[in-house]
Amino acid sequence: MLGGVLGRVNNLTKIRAKFVHKEEIEAALRKHTKIQWFEIVIRKSWGIDTVDIYLELPLGTDFSYLDTIKRSLVSILEFSPNLFPLFPKTLKREGFKKAKKIYDLRAGETYDVSKRRVFLSTIYLQTLYLGSWKEKLKGLLAAIKKMF
């Protein structure tokens, strides 16, 4: 035991057999200027580490922008994280720059994902994905039917 410290000293975390600095994920997201706010949730689901990223994006964002975000994250993580686009001002803000943005539920931290947030993300994703208004309306109604 070196200097009375047992365990990991730095902020390196193991996600799916790869060691990653949590700040690397945050830095990759900060490179995308359209992202207004984000929260990263690392959890273990069915024995597999998953990374859920909740993103606040402007209303006029194109669906291809989500693909560029996902590609930049795949280069760091070496697997595809789950992206949840949200309407602006959906995520909680505890402070201006000191608010916590990374939650590791495997380490015992708590994070509550409301059904409302998942519902809004599904609606927003449908509006980003579909092209014309008729298609958007049909996709939106189909997404709402799936939720209920």
Kindly list the strands in the beta sheet with 48-56, ordered across the sheet, starting from the edge strand earlier in the chain. Answer: 82-86, 48-56, 37-45, 102-104
φ/ψ (deg, to 5) at 51: -120, 115
Pairing of strands 18-21, 48-56: unpaired
Q: Along the chain (148 residues), what's the average pLDDT of each consecutive run of 10 residues? A: 51 78 85 88 85 85 84 86 84 67 78 75 72 66 76
**Residue 71 phi, psi (nearest 5):** -65, -40
What's the Cα-to-Cα distance from 85 to each of 18, 24, 45, 123, rounded to whole Å? Answer: 25, 20, 21, 9
Q: What is the pLDDT of residue 138?
A: 72
**Stated pTM of the model:** 0.72
Domains of the chain: 12-111 (3.30.300.30)
Q: Burial letters for 112-122: b for 16+ Cβ neighbours within 10 Å, e otherwise?
A: eeeeebeebbb
Both tokens assigned to 59: 């209303």
Sign of torsion over alpha carbons 41, 72, 128, 95: positive
